[in-house]
Amino acid sequence: MQTVYLTSLVQFDVTVILFHCIPSIAGCCTWVLNLANSPDWLKPLLLGSVIGAAALGVAGFGWAGWMTAGKAQILASDQSRDAVIEALVPFCVQNANNDPEAAVKFAALKDASDYERSEMVMDGGWSTVAGRDGPDRRIAGACLEKLADRI
């Protein structure tokens, strides 16, 4: 075993344990690679492998579109929520068209700000989904986009 001193304060051991082999009849053996006494071609090979693995990770996650399971789950959740909202917007539009006071409410929507418009759609009950306690702001916003030609 060889100890290398980089400075007077920092030292490290150049002996690297690669892996433990399967226990045999003689007992458990450990294979040890001593980098100080290794062939000349081994150091560049190990260094290239480490640098290559790091570059592959950066390229894959940065440019190739790889993602972690957590990010994939968040993305899938966002996409499913958007799909549900898109599926429920026609019911909101239908509720708006079937409202007996639709003409009065559309006239009031023209003079309202964006925030007030969402509140008016929610208060009118247009964005309330059957089986839920109250209206949904995201459905109201998407409904207003569909009703934009009437406002």
124 is written with which tokens?
């009118």
Q: Phi/psi at 15 (nearest 5 deg)?
A: -85, 125
pTM of the model: 0.59
Take residue 35 and report the two structure tokens written for it. 């980098």
The single residue listed with the structure tokens 């693995």 is: 53
Model pLDDT for residues 21-80, shown as the tens digit of each residue: 455 555 555 555 566 677 888 889 999 999 999 999 999 999 999 999 999 999 999 999
Interhelix angle 114-123/102-111, rounded to 10 degrees, is: 160
